[in-house]
Amino acid sequence: MSEDYIEISIKELFVCIWERIWIVLISTLVFGVAAFFITKFATTPQYEAKIRLYVNNKTESASSLTSSDVSAAKSLVDTYITIIESNSVIDEIIKNTEYDYATGQIREMLSAKSVNGTEVFEVSIQGPSPEECAVIANLVADIAPNKISEIVEGSSVKIVDRAKVDPVPIAPNMKKNVVIGCFLGFIISCMVVVLLHMFDTTIYDEDDIKQCCTLPILGIFSDFNQASQGNKRNTYYGRRSAK
């Protein structure tokens, strides 16, 4: 049992896209402009405030800081981060602010990580207001050391850097979104053009006839209306019959 299929070469696809390049260009421009306006007017900017804390594992009775103390401090960073993300710390932050945030919202805004594998770790707060982010981050710096000292005996945390208000948003990225929009417009328009070409049943030349019919071509009738108007393509073949 034979199956009907359409064989299309890569060259034919490029020619097909080139003949409709204006569709591709317009679609690319439209998607890029849409991405710009969505990013500019429909997306809430996100800001970030950061603090840095130092893990001090030296006991008060020790006169100097040994290498074992430094190693122990590095291993405690993950423990301290877990404590900072706990409900007890977050609830204390909420009590000391006038902002209407729930515990889950503060936890989503808060993230922490070690700085280059050292005993210094960084806590960042991301949100829609740069002022609120800075206030919450500095509250973490004020509250976390006491909470950590209460839970982990023999260790302490010192503030390295406090948060400052940064008016420059970290998201969304305008250039990145516009580039992605243009790329999507280009890809989608090319796919549409190729699909339109594949499902086009119009017979344009003898090769199209050979693809859908095994009988020999006996002759070609010219389209006299197009020939009289001076069109280059003055041969009319019709449409492929529906099967």
Task: Return contacts of 202-211, CB within 8 angstroms, 24+ apart.
Answer: 202/237, 202/238, 202/239, 202/240, 203/237, 203/238, 203/239, 203/240, 204/233, 204/237, 205/235, 205/237, 208/237, 208/240, 209/237, 211/6, 211/7
pLDDT single digits (tens) 79-119? 888 999 999 999 999 999 989 999 999 999 999 988 887 88
Select from 51, 47, 170, 54 the least CA-distant residue to 122.
51
**Does the pLDDT value for residue 205 go beyond 70?**
no
**Does the pLDDT value for residue 14 go beyond 50?**
yes
CATH code at position 70: 3.30.70.1130
Q: Is residue 1 part of a domain?
A: no
Q: Is residue 233 part of a domain?
A: yes
DSSP code at position 61 = T
pLDDT at 228: 55
pLDDT at 68: 58
**Does the pLDDT value for residue 59 go beyond 50?**
no
Q: Is residue 28 part of a domain?
A: yes
**Does the pLDDT value for residue 214 go beyond 80?**
no
Residues of the domain holding 215: 201-243
pLDDT single digits (tens) 219-240? 666 665 655 555 544 454 445 5
pLDDT single digits (tens) 124-173? 999 999 999 999 999 999 999 999 888 887 777 899 999 999 999 999 99
The total number of structural domains that make up the chain: 3
Residues 74 and 180 in one domain: no
Average pLDDT in the chain: 82
Residues 126 and 220 in one domain: no
Residues 180 and 141 in one domain: no
Query: What pLDDT band is residue 69 in, cutting at 50, 70 and 90?
Result: low
Query: Percent of the chain scored above 70 by pLDDT?
Result: 72
pLDDT at 224: 57
pLDDT at 219: 65
Read off the pTM.
0.68
Residues 191 and 177 in one domain: yes
Taking residues 203-228, report their average pLDDT.
64
Contact 180, 35 (CB under 8 A): yes
Residues 95 and 136 in one domain: yes
